[in-house]
Amino acid sequence: MVNYGVIEEKMCDLCMGEYITYGIGAYNTQAHELITFVSDVFPCKDDAEEFVNVCNENELSLHHLRDVIEDFI
């Protein structure tokens, strides 16, 4: 089974300079290790946490993660 979590990142862009963004990590619940990570998805931590909660509550399959992220944003 997969559990999703929010990962804070510090990014740098030539136009925007340094900024904080939030990615989504997918973890193996049995081994407690990171399976995959989608970087720089949300500029707002609250939105990232809401997304992760919905994914975990609905037991989102890892195969659909990128599609669901694309639809959500």
Candidates 18, 22, 11, 16; CA nearest to 47 is 22
**Which amino acid is it at 71?**
D
State residue 6's pLDDT score: 97
Kindly report, residue by residue over 16-69, the tens digit of the pLDDT: 889 999 999 999 988 889 999 999 999 999 999 999 999 999 999 999 999 999
Q: How far out from the chain centre does Cα 36 lie?
A: 9
Determine whether 69 is exposed, middle or buried from the number of CB atoms within 10 Å of its CB (0-12, 13-18, 19+).
middle
More confident residue, 73 or 49: 49
Domain ranges, ordered by start, for the chain: 2-72
State residue 1's pLDDT score: 85
State residue 9's pLDDT score: 96
